[in-house]
Structure 1
Amino acid sequence: MSKELKGTLEEFHDAFVSYKNNVDIITEKYINICQKRIKYLNKNSNSIQLYDSIELLYEKLELNTWKLIQMLNRHCKSVSEPDICYMEDPYISDASFASQFLQNEDLKKVYTVREWLQDICSPYSIPSLKKDSSFILSTTNQKLNKEQSKLSLEPDKKDKEFDEKLSKVIYELIRRGKLEEAIEYCEQCGQPWKGASLRGTLLWADPNYDKEEINDVASGNRNRDLWKSLCFKLANEEKYCSHERAIYSVMSGTVKNALAVCKTWEDYLWVYCNSYLENELSKGFKASARYVVDDNDEADLYLINDNLIPESTESIFDSLLKNENEKIRKSASEPFHYIQKMIILNKYKEMIIHFKNQLEESKTIIGTPVNTDLLRFFVHFILLLKNSGMSYPEKESEYIITTYINYLIKYKKRTLIAGYASHLTNENQIKSYVSLLKTIDEPSHIKKEYIKLAQLHGLDTSSICTVTVNSALSDIEDSFPTEIDSTIYKNMSNPVTNSDIAKIHTLEWLTFEVSLVKEFFLQSNRLYRYFLGIGKIAAAQELFNFILNINTVQCKLDDNKEDQDIFMSESIVYCGLIDAYNSYKTWKNIMDHKPNDNLINSLKTLKENEWKSQVIEKTKEADQLLNTAILLLVNLIKPNEIENQEEGSDVMEGVEYTDQSDLFKRQMIQNIYIPQIFLWLHTIYFETKDIIPEMITILI
């Protein structure tokens, strides 16, 4: 997908979210988006590269597909059962019979497909009729009286080149469903007999019978079947040019002689659909006994024999896949032509399953790209089916939508995810949105906006936030030490890393809902254990500061003293340990900055007295905090906790521990820090024994 066109991802998303309950409007929006994309690519066609030209082709094919879906949707709304009693009336006109006969669902669909193929046909510019144009009438024709020319039913000799070009124009107009324009064009070119011939395809209609109190002239061809058989014979006349034979072939409802002028898959499909409709209508007329022929010789006049006439819509597409023209065979296998085929055949379930399998194959084969535009189309088609109440393969559809969400995450179209995730099962909603949240490393207020988006689309944000944090912190379980080594003590002096900060700020996902307060403190304690278990006291300090700054959570806790006791009991231990460590560092820093001996005596005495006062103050503070930390750590696991753990009851008061791993980690923290604190205390007592004599007593 080109960089300039990635914005259309938002356009498709916005169109679907805004109009998802109205298929007609939403398909119109999709059509407009595709037209906009095509206009952009055409505008830059001078510098277009191979990739862009392929993209332009895909855009046109997608546009045509949305038009097909829109027209078939309208067809579904208008289709009704044929009025059999009305059709059995032998006096109704052919046009009235045909209008009822074509109400058959399958025939109505093919009729709609033919209209669609006429609608999407590329614009055709009718050549100028001026004398200086390439269409030059013969000298004989130029001398004919204008009135005589209009009344003439027999063609005069004319220039062969003119005849071929005229036939081409007529065919191109008929191909686009513009029969009246083709007839008018014949008259403008001075060949009204051709126009009169084309009128032979019009069904006989008698408004005086079909409608009450109407006094009008009947029109159309009462001998249309006979006229069609004559067209069939003319189509096989080799003396006519290819386009003229194609005109007669189409009018007779045959295929063979029309294919010679077909260039595209759509052209071929139009010829086959036209043939199928014409022959089904002829069968309907014959079955109704409207045309009874007893004379075998006369019956031969109506004979039309073309083994390419399709027997069903299935056979139409089989013919395209087996076509002699390699280009058409290849085109029939193009993704969007395949999609159009399956939609027409009402096999969209099989189509969705097939595409899902292709996606799986592209993931297993390294280097196989996924067509993201095709993926986007399938997602929006599936959602149309879902919102229309139509059945679809849910498991495969979930896979396709999930894959699309992953690509949106890759393209950083983050605000679009919630809208699509809302159409997944609850489990996949959570997985998809968690995948998104794990990629977001933004300030808290931006994170909150993504949670609001999820809530707007009805996602389970509590579960999503919980799973996000659990997933982001999953690696800390494997990193926790199983035994005490020197690395832990070396880490105590290490600074906070970006990775540490990222882990801490992951907890922000748990600060946007009151229901997640408990989970917030459970996860923060989990992170405390990790940092302290690997010796990262500075990171634990950063976590402590982070929690203090989460005012919203703090306020919520203050409202419930009981919850505060429950959730804070373990974290208080870790906070006490951090305070004790900081007091020891402060004490050590003062001890390391003893006044310089080079100072003059009076100044030295003053500085030493100030220093000793600070040492005494910080020693008492450190002594108190370190001893408090020991008491807290001792109570981190109560004497009867292991027994209670085995019995399945709650352990440390107010905190639920049902995981043996948590117990092990708290034991490890005790084993790391209680001996270390005693060592720090011993250092303090020993280093200050000369300044504070009573420390000798403690040492002894």
Structure 2
Amino acid sequence: MDFSIEDSFASRRHGRRSLQTFEAMMGAESPAVRDDKISKVFRRESTAINVQKSIQLLDESIHTPSPRGVRTPGGTLKHSSYTPRLLASGTKYDVSTRMGSAKKRTPQAMRSFQRSFQEESFQARPMMESFQEESFQPRTMMENDEDLTTTNVALLLDEDPGISASKSLFMDFLQCLRSYPSESEIFTQIEVYEKLCEEQANILKKLTQHAAKHEEKFIRTCETQNQLNKELATWKLIRTLFKDRQDVSMKEEFMMEQGEDDQPLVVEGIYQSDKKIIDSLLEREQSVREAQLIVDWLENCAQEDCENISIKFFSDRAVGIENARHRLMKQGHGLPTGAARSLITELDPDAPIRQNKLLDDLDKEDEDRLLQYIFACLRAGQLEKAQTRCIECGQAWRAASLEGWKLYNDSNFEGPDGVYQRRPVEGNPNRDIWKKVCWNMVQDPRVNTYEKAIYSVLSGNLQGILPLCHSWSDYMWAYFRVLVDRRIEDEIRLKTTISRSLEHLPGEYWEKNLTTKSVFKEIEAAEMIQREAGSIYHQIQKYIILGDIPGLIQLLYDHIKLHKEETTLHLLRFITHFILFIRSTDLHSKEDLCNSILECYVEELIKNQHYQLVAHYVSKLPSDAQIFWYAKFLEGINDKEERQFYRDLAEDSGLDIAAISKRVVENIRSKSDVDFSSLNQDSVDSSISEEDKRKIEAIDWLVFDVNQRHEALKQANALMRVFVALKKLDAAKAVFDKLPPDSVDVVHKSYLQQTGSNNLPRDDMNAIHEYLCMKAYLDAMDSFNDWIQHYHHGQPKQPEPPTGGTFTDRVAYEHRLKTYEQDHERWYQNLLMQTQTTKDHIYNVLLFPDGGWMADPSMENNDENTMDDNEDVDTKRSEQLQHLRSLTLPGLVFLLHNILHTSEQYQECLRLADMIASEQNNLYQVFREEELQRLLHLLRESSLKLLNNGKGPLGYEKK
């Protein structure tokens, strides 16, 4: 050890005591100290304080105060910048620290211990806090410059930095799923999950370091960070336990296939060390091994808290109780000490208890700090680190005392190694005696609480640990540590091969026969952590430890249903990926609940506009749910390029594009269903609403793929039926125009390519027939509109004759009149041509072949292959077609009569009666009684016109 540094520390401590304590106690001058070094220390601290004040004022001016170090009672602890490490891969069962053989691996931790460490108070707290202020320098913004990036600054200005900064995590998890799709890679997948959560938590940590902690948005950011830390810890637990359980299952299967016994062979009379006995126990007993893995996990979860602790001890030549030594040296030189209390007069570690005297206040402060630090290291599973600190502080005896719990092992009994050298002996052969001494020490009220807890941890004394447990994780660690210790002690006393009898441990040691279930029962009964124990992440961890997967799935389902509004998207993401992980193992169960959970995640992804993620997670659902949810998602996509993009994503994810596209159109089309039976010929609404436009645009979903053209025909027909019934002809034309002109030909070719047959199914033939019917009707209405336009707006206006005009005026009038007669003749000829065209188009509708307009063709003359006896008849469609005939055909007849009557084709008007009465077309069936009466009245007028023209009532020449 560097004695010059220790001398400097000692001089600083002596100088401080001369200012704070010794002058009041002694009224005398302190021993020789280095005044020049003390002054340098004070000047350096004064400069640091001034710089810190300046930075603080600057931070306050921009409302982002620099983060201060966390002050912990009775100690100078400093939280430094720290990037957590991932858990390194190692041996099959990582119980090295429990067995005292290797250095413990340390993944990133949860932050449960920090709170318990900060809440503990000490007797000499005022003096310790004053020392803390002197030896601890808070972090300044200058130290955080490396973390302050342009991205972080932009996020700080965001409305919710936590949500913005962690938004990429959802895509990262999806990419991980795609990168490791094999069942053999599921644990690699979980390792990536851990790293993603860890990196994201670090980003949020950096954000909060530069933020004003009182702002609500940063409070939410801290909550998100805490949630990610809990998720990280849970993923680590999942990987640890499930990997072990999978190994056990694979081993059992292998042993059954080989027909071998899994029990290890134990030869009587052969020496077995304690360590070998326990290694065999851990290999054989899964419950003990899992309990030890849980201990390792809980200690790993406290690792970051221990890494963030930076504590300085000022010692004189590595002597632990330097102040007592200094006082005794003064007494030896005959100098007054000013001690008015009963202080120790000897320097051995047992002096305070043996002499029943007190330590110096500053020595007591140092010892309290060291004990805190040792306990923190034990909580984080870093025994070696605690021992190193003890040696650095001049308490090598204490470092040695922490070795007493280790299991004894003499590998020399296993035979010589390759070079025939004696190998070192491990552990404590008198471990039983050491444990009994520890138990006796814990009963002594004079021993420090932390010291009791330290040796209680190592000797399995639960009552000595619990006073320093303040969180669910602390309680779990204490109980499982004791559970493992008890099982180890049972095994050693049962199978030990040493000749001497082991010391009897106190009765309290054997009272609690802990099991995993009883541990949770006792923890949940503790009042101070009942609320924390009921949190969702701790409940998840509980069920994972118990191995109750069906119960866990039920818990997750109930939580989401009962607390859907409070369930964050990050929690849903974790639950979803845990469900997918379970499906990759042999433990999957309650598939209906799992699917419901996945559906909730898909719904939240859509709501939060994580659109690129939807397709993959929908693909994990049953086929019916896939169609429902992805169709619901696509309903909200209006841009054509985006539609094609998300359609391609669905195809890449293996979704049924045809069924989904069909459902999309049906969903949009059924937003406002129309009751055809309540409509009549007076129901006219020609406007095209925004909802109508959405329905029209929905047809595009079915036009992308030529193999769906038959479905496009069906959906377009259904939509046009509604628009025609509502007299929205412009909307019906827009739907018709959405279908490519070659649609009928494409349907035939596509079916021929797929089946090799030209005989279409019945529903496809009906769809083509209806499409042609609709085309005929729209052509007829277009032609009629052209006729109306020509008749009312194209007819030339006859010039007015002049009244009393001159000769020139009369000549001009005659010229205009002649021009009018020519224009009128031309107009009349065009009218006759347009009348003929319109008449032909309307007749095409009224006399439509193959069963009539909007009547499905008869199948009698078609090939038997087109018939499907099991095919369900679309009753709703059939009713709509019948109502549409009744709504449309009488109106067309009236329009045709109006055209013929206006163009003076009266005889043609009377022939309408024969057409309607004909049994071939059955048009009379679509007329209501009042419509027939109106038609007869119109025919009477046409007949009267014929009589007035000197013809018979039916238009024939009179004889």
1:422–1:459 Cα contact (<8 Å) kept: yes
| Aligned pairs for 1:41-52 within 5 A | 41-45=204-208, 46-48=211-213, 49=216, 50-52=219-221
Aligned to 2:518: 315
* Residues 1:234 and 2:426 are matched in the alignment: no
* Partner Cα distance (1:519, 1:403) in 2: 30
* Partner Cα distance (1:144, 1:225) in 2: 37
* Partner Cα distance (2:522, 2:408) in 1: 32
Aligned amino acid, residue 98 of structure 1: I
* Partner Cα distance (1:413, 1:211) in 2: 64
Aligned to 1:128: 312
CA distance 1:99–1:484, change in 2 (3 Å): closer
Aligned amino acid, residue 562 of structure 2: E
CA distance 1:530–1:638, change in 2 (3 Å): closer
Aligned amino acid, residue 275 of structure 2: A
Deviations 1:330-361 (A, max 9, x none): 11111101111110111122011122123333
The counterpart of 2:591, out of the listed 394, 418, 424, is: 394
Aligned amino acid, residue 240 of structure 2: M
1:173–1:179 Cα contact (<8 Å) kept: yes
Q: CA deviation at 1:194?
A: 0.2
The counterpart of 2:482, out of the listed 275, 294, 297, is: 275
* Partner Cα distance (2:629, 2:855) in 1: 44
1:93–1:210 Cα contact (<8 Å) kept: no
Aligned to 1:36: 199
1:576–1:629 Cα contact (<8 Å) kept: yes
CA distance 1:208–1:576, change in 2 (3 Å): same
The counterpart of 2:770, out of the listed 567, 570, 577, is: 570
TM-score by length of 2: 0.64
* Residues 1:94 and 2:274 are matched in the alignment: yes
The counterpart of 1:531, out of the listed 719, 723, 729, is: 723
* Partner Cα distance (1:519, 1:248) in 2: 77
Aligned to 2:675: 480
Q: CA deviation at 1:675?
A: 1.8
| Aligned pairs for 1:82-161 within 5 A | 84-86=264-266, 90-103=270-283, 104-121=285-302, 122-124=304-306, 125-130=309-314, 137-141=321-325, 154=349, 159-161=363-365
* Partner Cα distance (2:320, 2:843) in 1: 113
* Partner Cα distance (2:269, 2:328) in 1: 48
Greater shift, 405-414 or 629-638, is seen at 629-638
2:680–2:887 Cα contact (<8 Å) kept: no
* Partner Cα distance (1:640, 1:534) in 2: 22
The counterpart of 1:23, out of the listed 163, 168, 186, is: 186
Gap regions ≥5 residues in structure 1: 146-151
* Partner Cα distance (1:174, 1:638) in 2: 85
Q: CA deviation at 1:176?
A: 1.1
* Partner Cα distance (1:136, 1:78) in 2: 48
* Partner Cα distance (2:328, 2:246) in 1: 53
2:405–2:428 Cα contact (<8 Å) kept: yes
Deviations 1:18-64 (A, max 9, x none): 22431222112211222233223323322452433333322211111
| Aligned pairs for 1:348-497 within 5 A | 348-362=549-563, 368-443=565-640, 445-475=641-671, 478-488=673-683, 490-491=684-685, 494-497=686-689
Gap regions ≥5 residues in structure 2: 1-161, 253-261, 330-346, 353-358, 753-757, 801-811, 912-941, 944-959
Aligned amino acid, residue 677 of structure 1: L
* Partner Cα distance (1:501, 1:355) in 2: 42
Aligned to 1:620: 836
Q: CA deviation at 1:116?
A: 0.9
* Partner Cα distance (1:669, 1:524) in 2: 15
1:637–1:666 Cα contact (<8 Å) kept: no
The counterpart of 2:708, out of the listed 513, 516, 525, is: 516
Greater shift, 31-40 or 512-521, is seen at 512-521
* Partner Cα distance (1:174, 1:378) in 2: 32
Q: CA deviation at 1:527?
A: 2.1
The counterpart of 1:499, out of the listed 691, 697, 706, is: 691
Q: CA deviation at 1:668?
A: 2.0
* Partner Cα distance (1:248, 1:71) in 2: 28
* Partner Cα distance (2:884, 2:743) in 1: 30
* Residues 1:674 and 2:885 are matched in the alignment: no
* Partner Cα distance (1:652, 1:273) in 2: 72
Aligned amino acid, residue 123 of structure 1: D
Q: CA deviation at 1:65?
A: 0.5
* Partner Cα distance (1:208, 1:96) in 2: 13
CA distance 1:525–1:659, change in 2 (3 Å): same
Aligned to 1:253: 460
* Partner Cα distance (2:656, 2:415) in 1: 60
1:650–1:658 Cα contact (<8 Å) kept: no
Aligned to 2:222: 53
CA distance 1:565–1:178, change in 2 (3 Å): closer
TM-score by length of 1: 0.86
Q: CA deviation at 1:239?
A: 1.0
* Partner Cα distance (2:654, 2:765) in 1: 33
CA distance 1:212–1:613, change in 2 (3 Å): farther
Aligned to 1:149: none
CA distance 1:207–1:160, change in 2 (3 Å): same
Greater shift, 606-615 or 235-244, is seen at 606-615
1:430–1:464 Cα contact (<8 Å) kept: yes
The counterpart of 2:244, out of the listed 75, 79, 98, is: 75
CA distance 1:666–1:634, change in 2 (3 Å): farther
Aligned amino acid, residue 398 of structure 1: N
Aligned to 1:338: 539
Q: CA deviation at 1:5?
A: 2.7
SS in 1 for 2:885: helix
What percentage of aligned pairs have identical amino acids? 24
Q: CA deviation at 1:83?
A: 5.5
Aligned to 1:148: none
**How many residues are paired up?**
669
Aligned amino acid, residue 448 of structure 1: Q
Q: CA deviation at 1:611?
A: 4.0
Aligned amino acid, residue 518 of structure 2: S
Q: CA deviation at 1:620?
A: 2.5
Q: CA deviation at 1:582?
A: 0.8
Q: CA deviation at 1:377?
A: 1.4
Deviations 1:642-691 (A, max 9, x none): 999xxxx99999xx8823433332222222222212222232234334xx
* Partner Cα distance (1:640, 1:38) in 2: 65
1:408–1:417 Cα contact (<8 Å) kept: yes
* Residues 1:7 and 2:181 are matched in the alignment: no
2:404–2:434 Cα contact (<8 Å) kept: yes
Aligned amino acid, residue 392 of structure 2: Q
* Partner Cα distance (1:243, 1:484) in 2: 86
The counterpart of 1:286, out of the listed 464, 474, 493, is: 493
* Partner Cα distance (1:308, 1:376) in 2: 43
Deviations 1:365-401 (A, max 9, x none): xxx4333322221111111011123233212111111
1:480–1:533 Cα contact (<8 Å) kept: no
2:846–2:853 Cα contact (<8 Å) kept: no
Deviations 1:403-448 (A, max 9, x none): 11111121222322222222222232222223223333331x5333
* Partner Cα distance (1:231, 1:608) in 2: 124
